[in-house]
C-alpha cells in the first residue's frame, strides 16, 4: 500500500509524473463536476417550468403546483451549486458564466410568465428585471477596478424574490394571497434598496480605481 490512488500511478504502483497528475486533476474539475451539473439542471428547468405553468391556459391549480415544484428545485440548486463550487474548489469558467445566467433566467421566466398570465403587475416585473440587468452591466463597467461582492442585503433580496415568485406561482387564496402580496412588496423594496447600494459601491470603487491609476501614473513619471 503506497497511499497513492491507482489513477495517479498509471497502473504501475509508481506515482505518475507531476505534470500528468496535475493535468488530470484539472480535467476532473473542469466541466463535469457536481456544481456545474446543478447549474445545467437549473438551466434545463427554465423551459420546463414555463411549459408547466402555462398548461391548460395557465390557471389550473394542479399544473401550477407542478410548476412550483420545478421552480423550487431550481432555486434549491442555486443555493447548493455555488456553495459546492467554493467548498470543494470546483469553480470553473463555465460556472462563472452559466451560474448567474441560470439565476437570472429562472427568475425572469417566473416574473414575465406571471405578468403574462395577469397575476403580477408588469411594473413589478419591470422594476426587478431592470435592477438585475442594470447591476449586472454595472459590475462589468467597474470590473477592471475591482469586484463588487454580494452583500447580505443582496442575499436577502434573492431569498425574498424567490419566495414571492414561488407564492405567486401557487394559486393561493385567502390570507395566504394577502401574505404573498406583502412578501412581493418586501422583495421589491429590497430590490430597489440593494440596487442603490450597489450603485454607491460601484461609484466609490471606480473613483478609487481612477485615483490609484492617476497616482501610479504620477509616480512612474517622477521616476523617469
pLDDT digits 0-9 by tens, 122-141: 999 999 999 999 988 888 88
Task: Enumerate the H helices of 29-151 as residue ranges.
Answer: 34-53, 61-87, 93-116, 122-141
CA dist., res. 66 & res. 185, Å (int)? 25
Helix/strand/coil for 174 = coil
Q: What's the pLDDT score for residue 25? A: 41
CA dist., res. 182 & res. 26, Å (int)? 47
Which grid cell is 175? 390570507
Q: What's the pLDDT score for residue 30? A: 60
Q: What's the pLDDT score for residue 29? A: 52
Q: Which residues in the chain show pLDDT less than 70?
A: 1-30
Q: What's the pLDDT score for residue 10? A: 46
Q: Are 93 and 31 in contact (CB under 8 A)?
A: no
DSSP 61-83: HHHHHHHHHHHHHHHHHHHHHHH
Q: What's the pLDDT score for residue 45? A: 94
Eight-state DSSP code of residue 2: -
Which grid cell is 201? 459601491
Distance of CA 142 to the CA centre of its chain: 19
Q: What's the pLDDT score for residue 92? A: 76
Which grid cell is 179? 401574505
Which grid cell is 131? 435592477
Amino acid at each position: 500500500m503506497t497511499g497513492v490512488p491507482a489513477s495517479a500511478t498509471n497502473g504501475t504502483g509508481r506515482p505518475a509524473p507531476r505534470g500528468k497528475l496535475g493535468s488530470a486533476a484539472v480535467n476532473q474539475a473542469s466541466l463535469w463536476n457536481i456544481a456545474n451539473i446543478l447549474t445545467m439542471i437549473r438551466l434545463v428547468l427554465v423551459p420546463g417550468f414555463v411549459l408547466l405553468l402555462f398548461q391548460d391556459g395557465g390557471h389550473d391549480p394542479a399544473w401550477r403546483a407542478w410548476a412550483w415544484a420545478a421552480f423550487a428545485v431550481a432555486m434549491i440548486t442555486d443555493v447548493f451549486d455555488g456553495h459546492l463550487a467554493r467548498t470543494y474548489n470546483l469553480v470553473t469558467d463555465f460556472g462563472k458564466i452559466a451560474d448567474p445566467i441560470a439565476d437570472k433566467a429562472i427568475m425572469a421566466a417566473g416574473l414575465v410568465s406571471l405578468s403574462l398570465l395577469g397575476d403580477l403587475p408588469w411594473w413589478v416585473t419591470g422594476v426587478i428585471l431592470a435592477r438585475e440587468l442594470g447591476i449586472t452591466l454595472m459590475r462589468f463597467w467597474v470590473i477592471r477596478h475591482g469586484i463588487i461582492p454580494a452583500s447580505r442585503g443582496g442575499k436577502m433580496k434573492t431569498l425574498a424574490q424567490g419566495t414571492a415568485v414561488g407564492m405567486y406561482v401557487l394559486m393561493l387564496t385567502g390570507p395566504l394571497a394577502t401574505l404573498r402580496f406583502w412578501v412581493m412588496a418586501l422583495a421589491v423594496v429590497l430590490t430597489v434598496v440593494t440596487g442603490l447600494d450597489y450603485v454607491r459601491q460601484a461609484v466609490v470603487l471606480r473613483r478609487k480605481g481612477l485615483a490609484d491609476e492617476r497616482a501610479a501614473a504620477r509616480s512612474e513619471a517622477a521616476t523617469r
